[in-house]
Structure 1
Amino acid sequence: MTIYFYKVPDPYGCFSNFSPHSIHLNGRDWPTVEHYYQAHKFVGTRDEGLIEKIRGVKTPEEAAALGRDRGYEVRSDWEGVKREIMYEAVLTKFLTHRDIQKVLLETGDEAIVEDSPTDYYWGCGAEKTGANHLGKILMEVRSQLRDRAVFTETIVGG
């Protein structure tokens, strides 16, 4: 059975980038994955000052609004690096927070889909025809967490 997620209060809402799970990456604390992702659009641009502004806003909704504002210059390599940036942030989130790591691992081998009606890159879109890159990243992270658990049990448990 496919696992769909989208809004934070809904089942599996902890899979959302807007979930209130902080991460620590590149020497900085970030309130959510969304804050980290949106801020990294501006690395090396004339609008690099937005990075700290985005990191400091109170909600992921505010971070998303700033990051999506077309009045700012997005880094030229963004399309080529955005998936890796998202992967790094999502992996860190699930390595950091054991409670949601457990939720992710308990999904077994089920497909995971971000049920966004508007996002055809990260989610599945209204017609369920989107690329679902966020769901794919979650499944990759789940696999990596499983591999780490097996490695740890083998080495530590003997």
Structure 2
Amino acid sequence: MNVRNALAAAAAALLASGCATIVKGGGPEPVSVRSQPSDADVKIYDAVTGIHIASGKTPVLVPLAKSTGFFLGSKYRVVIEKPGFEKREVLIDSHVSGWYIAGNIAFGLLGWLIIDPATGAMWTLDEQVSVDLMPIAPPPPPSAQAPAEKPVARLMTVDELREQHPELASHLVPVVL
């Protein structure tokens, strides 16, 4: 009789548990944010509400909630900036955990429909965000820049030409029409 009660209790515990909750837990998941070069400013925002979640300098490990509610995964917008480099933005989107699918197929509907969705354990986030920051190109040197104004053709009399450009006077040839 005791063996039967023990087996029944074990079966009830398995049916009442969520596999992803047991394996991964429902709390925040650490996400590593790295950049090349390092020491860049990192700001993380909730991608739906725009609320600022966390800040730091790369490399940084940030605990992020996997869920925003029952059956709702989290989304984050990560902004990485460093002076002299182009700003980068990355989206972190939650996705369904393999433990949620595999474990709850084996162990029960309560974990599938209630426990893992309620604890957020059905979701997982990418463990690492890594970006290469591109240097901002310096402006081209003045000699490589296009002239500010295009030259304009202008008619001159022979006298005006001799006055403004005496070096050309010896090259003038009279033309008779």
The TM-score bracket by the shorter chain reads under 0.3
The higher relative CO (CA closer than 8 Å, separation ≥ 6) is in 2
Structure with greater Cα Rg: 2
TM-score between the two structures when normalised by the length of structure 2: 0.25
